[in-house]
A = this chain, B = another copy of it.
Amino acid sequence: MSRPTPLSGFPEWLPEQRAIEQRIVESIRRTFELHGFAPLETRAVEPLDQLLRKGETSQEVYLLHRLQADAGDPSDSALGLHFDLTVPFARYVLEHAGRLRFPFRRYQIQKAWRGERPQEGRYREFRQADIDVVDRDTLPLHHDVEVVLAAADALSGMPVPPVMIRTNNRKVCEGFYRGIGLSDPAAALRAVDKLDKLGPEGVAALLAETAGATGAQARACLALGGITTADASFVDRVRALGVTDPLLDEGLAELVSVVQTTGEHVPGVVVADLSVARGLDYYTGTVYEIGLPGSGLSIGGGGRYDNLASAGADRFPGVGISIGVTRLLGLLFGRDALTVSRPVPTCVLVALPDEEGRPAAYRIATALRRRGIATEVSPSAAKYGRQIRYADRRGIPYVWFPGDSAAGDEVKDIRSGEQGPADPLTWSPPAADLHPAVTAAGHARP
């Protein structure tokens, strides 16, 4: 066969990059667990009607077909790959409600797929790390704060630049739009959501076209969207626009609570930004957008959804936030912003004096592994210089030389050249060498 070529939109990392991703996913997982979120996973596929039930026509869903489908077998008709982890989670909650304990806190770190047109920075396959809390019937507002605290903690524990979480509340926008006399607040929201793409004039035109806004109404919408504050002072600026509506009041009170409480526990991370709309239709209150300062790009987001999971009289309001792991890594890899101390987990290479020494080398490796030290045995009994080069090329810091009947084993730090006697039952590397370490570029270990 000929050499295969990449598929646009389906990223694959090199081993060094995958080592970084693995460490970062582990770090996110550990933080989510520290915040009491339980691991969960849903299947990759959903019935198409589930995927589209909130009118997600903008999501380009991948449908599945069996290559060898039997005519008339309905068992896999109309299945699609999920495009996020919230819709499958809501379905999971409804399906298993009788066996879950509420409030239910879970994290989910999985791939999702979107049949986007191929373009720069758009992935067709990507990994997300989500946390959500759902409860039965009602879900207190403090959960809107808790998911932000957990996400901010996860992001601050990673060797990535500080992030900014912009937050808004759908009730503020919808109440405001209603208060200025727009009869279709959802259409107005969709128009304002395009501010980044279309600019103020484009949005004003779209507001006129799709929401029937007058020039004054469009200006009011844009004025609301222009308000950003790091504290609760956005309330005064909204009030100064002279609009009153009960839903607006409710939204402002919620947003104040979220901004103030997060400001107390993770200062400097969360700001109120009344232009944040989030594309997805299912949000009903708080919304978040996680941005990497300097990139202008979103690396995650989320919000409150009070009606996504409901069946008959059962209703499970939820709130969640999602970190776009692939998006974040794609940005950072593009800037060479992260390095890993070695692309392999191996800490020690056991060298072979000759091929007959392999069983003894396996026994040394087993002893080291039992004590948590990742160890490989040299693939060949080449000259020691070549075996050391094998380790060096992979960044393996230690080479172990088995002794013979006269002399004991020795271990060499191939970075410093230091070599000394060692016993596989007691020797340990410094803690910093035990696992590959990820660092922001420029601060890598020399």
CA distance A14 to B2 in the complex (A): 44
CA gap between A63 and B10 in the complex, in Å: 16
A106 touches B (CB below 8 Å)? yes
Whether B38 and A344, one on each chain, are in contact in the complex, defined by CB atoms closer than 8 angstroms, is yes
Chain A: number of interface residues, binned into ranges: 35 or more
Q: A99 vs B6: C-alpha distance in the bound complex, in angstroms?
A: 14
Q: In the bound complex, do residue A3 and residue B94 qualify as a contact, i.e. CB atoms below 8 Å apart? A: yes
Instruction: State whether the Cβ of A284 lies closer than 8 Å to any Cβ in chain B.
Output: no
A225 near B: Cβ within 8 Å?
A: no
Q: Which of B34, B62, B69 contacts A64 (CB 8 A)?
A: B62
Interface membership of A197, Cβ < 8 A: no
Partner of A345, one of B38, B373, B375: B38
Q: Is there a chain B Cβ closer than 8 Å to A19's Cβ?
A: yes
Instruction: Please report the C-alpha to C-alpha distance between residue A68 and residue B73 in the assembled complex, in whole angstroms.
Output: 24
Residues of B within 8 A of A18 (CB): 38-41
A65 within 8 A of B: yes
Report A47-69 CB contacts with B as 1/0, cut-off 8 Å: 11010010000001111111111
CB-CB < 8 A to A343: which residues of B?
Answer: 38
Question: Digit string of A1-36 for contact with B (CB within 8 Å is 1, else 0)?
Answer: 111111110111111001101100000000001111
Q: Is the CB of B115 within 8 A of A68?
A: yes
> Nearest-CB distance from A313 to chain B (Å)?
11
Q: Are A66 and B68 in contact (CB under 8 A)?
A: no
Report if A190 contacts B (CB, 8 A): no
From B69, B118, B344, give the contact of A115 (CB < 8 A): B69
A residues 301-321 with Cβ under 8 Å of B? 310-312
Cα–Cα, bound, A113→B76 (Å): 13
Do B265 and A43 touch (CB < 8 A)?
no
Judging by beta carbons under 8 Å apart, are B115 and A43 in contact?
A: no
Is B61 touching A10 in the complex (CB atoms < 8 A)?
A: no
Q: Tell me which residues from 159 to 182 in chain A have a Cβ below 8 Å from any Cβ of chain B.
A: none
Q: Which of B3, B66, B91, B359 interacts with A62 by CB under 8 Å? A: B66
Please tell me if A383 contacts chain B, counting CB pairs below 8 Å: no
Asked if A243 is at the interface of the complex by the 8 Å CB criterion, the answer is: no
Q: Say yes or no: A1 contacts B310, CB within 8 Å.
A: yes
Flag whether A393 is at the interface (Cβ < 8 A).
Answer: yes
Q: Which residues of B contact A92 (CB under 8 A)?
A: 12
Closest chain B CB from A66 CB (angstroms): 4
Q: Is A362 among interface residues, defined by CB-CB distance under 8 A? A: yes
Establish whether residues B374 and A53, one from each chain, have CB atoms under 8 Å apart when the complex forms: no
Q: Which residues of B contact A312 (CB under 8 A)?
A: 2-3
Chain B positions within 8 Å of A310 at CB level: 1
A127 nearest CB neighbor, chain B only: B41
- A140 an interface residue at 8 Å Cβ cutoff? yes
Q: A18-B40, A39-B18, A64-B63 are in contact. Are A7 and B345 (CB under 8 A)?
A: no
A8 to B43, CA, bound (A): 11
Question: A210 to chain B: closest CB distance in Å?
Answer: 20
Residue of B nearest to A61 (CB): B67
Known: A43-B12, A99-B14. Is A64-B81 also a contact (CB below 8 A)?
yes
In the complex, 20 of the A-B residue pairs with CB atoms within 8 angstroms, ordered by the A residue number, are A3-B95, A4-B94, A6-B95, A12-B41, A12-B42, A34-B373, A35-B369, A36-B344, A36-B346, A44-B125, A61-B67, A62-B67, A64-B64, A64-B81, A64-B115, A73-B117, A101-B394, A149-B362, A265-B362, A265-B366
Q: A7-B43, A36-B344, A64-B64 are in contact. List 16 more A-B contacts (CB 8 A).
A: A3-B95, A3-B311, A7-B47, A10-B45, A15-B39, A15-B40, A19-B38, A21-B41, A36-B345, A36-B376, A37-B345, A43-B125, A48-B67, A62-B64, A75-B118, A76-B124
